[in-house]
Amino acid sequence: MPATIVPIGGSRKGVYSVVAACLPGKPPQPVGVILADPDTGRGWVRFRQSFDDFAAPEDAEVLQGIEEHLVQLIAEFGGEGCLRCLAEWSNAVQISEPETVPVDSFTRTLDSLYNQEIEPLLAQPYQTHLPLYSMRAAAGFVGEDIAAEEEDWVRAPLGMRLDRSLIVVHVTGRSMEPRIPDGSLNVFRLNPVGSRQNKILLIQRRGVLDETAGCTVKKYTSVKTATEDGWRHERIRLEPLNPEFEAWDVEPEGFAVVAEWVCALE
């Protein structure tokens, strides 16, 4: 299935340009996208893997080396520095004027731009891509009466073993910064097993009327007391990572654990 572009409403900003090959006697052909993070200087690049449909073999060989060269430029000069270097290249390669774009995940935004500007991308569910949900939709996995259908498919981190317990969730709010940036996409594992102590969890709060507050991501801590019947929770606490926000105590029946946080997507 082709990748789609879903307006998630990322709170960060990126700067991107489209790279086009200008071969003799042919109109400019878009071949790749460069995306830069102005706040950190980092950059990402995605290029076509084949140029045979419009370039002669000798030209295709040259074009195939451009992506590697751009990666080296990003490592040396940063994302925006790479864009400035490209502006000085020969007429054989053109670069569009830089434009800003809202970002939830830089890798997802890069894929979306490539899909828009270069060619459709094929998403391979649970092989290369994971399903994307809002936090509200993700809560449907613990029995809420709402539709829990994926909103998009997002490329998973390289090397991650994928299975159907993994989902991607759009997290808003600053309470878990810096580990989970506001507006970022994050990988979670549904129905986690084992101890929850000190883990970051996606939690559905029961009895909360405001839908925007009904789901939250917090670090779980608890204090237990041994009893004749086993263990009893003396206190369960949901803690933010950002010291600007306060923790709070919950009763065992006041929440349900939806998933465990795995990692943030770049």
Answer yes or no: is 98 within a domain: yes
* Domain carrying residue 151: 129-264
Please, which pLDDT band fits residue 263 given cuts at 50, 70 and 90?
very high
Rounded Cα distance between 257 and 266, Å, is 25
Residue partners of 215: CB distance under 8 A and separation at least 6: 135, 136, 138, 139, 202, 203, 204, 205, 258
Percent of the chain predicted with pLDDT > 90: 25
Q: Indicate the burial class of 46 (C-beta count within 10 angstroms; 0-12, 13-18, 19 or more).
A: buried
Is pLDDT of 243 > 90?
yes
Rounded Cα distance between 172 and 91, Å, is 43
For CA atoms 206, 210, 215, 217, the dihedral sign is negative
Residue 219: what residue type? K
Residue where the block lists tokens 């465990």: 260
Same domain, 201 and 237: yes
C-alpha 51: how far from chain center: 28
Same domain, 66 and 193: no
Same domain, 227 and 192: yes
pLDDT in tens, 22-69: 888 888 889 999 999 988 888 899 988 888 888 888 888 888 888 888
Strand order in 184-190's β-sheet? 152-155, 129-134, 166-171, 184-190, 255-264, 200-205, 215-227, 230-239, 248-250
Same domain, 32 and 142: no
Q: What integer best gives the mean pLDDT of the chain?
A: 81
Domain limit, last residue, from 84, 117, 150: 117
Answer yes or no: is 4 within a domain: no
Q: Which pLDDT score is estimated for 4?
A: 35
Contact between 161 and 219 under an 8 Å Cβ cutoff? The reply is: no
Residue where the block lists tokens 């082709």: 2
Query: Residue 149 is part of a domain; what is its CATH number?
Result: 2.10.109.10
**Can you tell me the mean pLDDT for 75-90?**
78
Same domain, 153 and 106: no
pLDDT in tens, 91-126: 677 888 889 999 888 888 999 999 999 998 888 999
